[in-house]
Amino acid sequence: MDADLRVEMTGDFVVATLRGLPTESMLIECQQQIQRLLGAAATGRVLYDARAMEAPPVQVPWLQRQLDENAPNTMHLRRAIVVSNTRIGFLARLAFGGGDYRVFYDDVQAATHWLAAD
């Protein structure tokens, strides 16, 4: 399956949908689009829908962690990551381990509820 990325504002949060095998350039593009959509906000809520994502090599999730650590702004991100299996869930924990996030297994409704909660 070819890699595909869609990032859009939905209500009060950004939804990033990743399909196929993600690449490092895809993660960089995703991060840039999320930052652009959130603008200068002090906080941002992001739902990553990775249910149709294939497991990438481990350097790809590590890149996400580096992108977060080197982000120029001081925005606090609260992220819900929806995955289809434990392998993708493990990789999500590697990628976002230092931030405010939660992994959900095939449960978009619970993820959106968690994001909307204060």
Q: What is the mean pLDDT of residues 99-103?
A: 92
Find the range with the poorest average confidence among 21-25, 29-33, 58-62, 64-68. 64-68
Whether residue 75 is predicted with pLDDT greater than 80 in this model: the reply is no
The tokens describing 33, both together, are 């689009």
Strands 76-83 and 100-105: what pairing?
A: parallel
Residue the block writes with tokens 């949908």: 17
Could you please state the CATH topology (level 3) that the domain comprising 4-36+43-116 is classified under: Transcription Regulator spoIIAA (3.30.750)
CA dist 30 to 47, 72, 107, Å? 12, 16, 22
Whether residue 48 is predicted with pLDDT greater than 80 in this model: the reply is yes
Of residues 30, 11, 34, 41, the one with CA closest to residue 116? 11
The tokens describing 113, both together, are 């509820």
Q: pTM of this prediction?
A: 0.92
In the structure, what pLDDT confidence band is assigned to residue 77 with cuts at 50, 70 and 90? Answer: confident
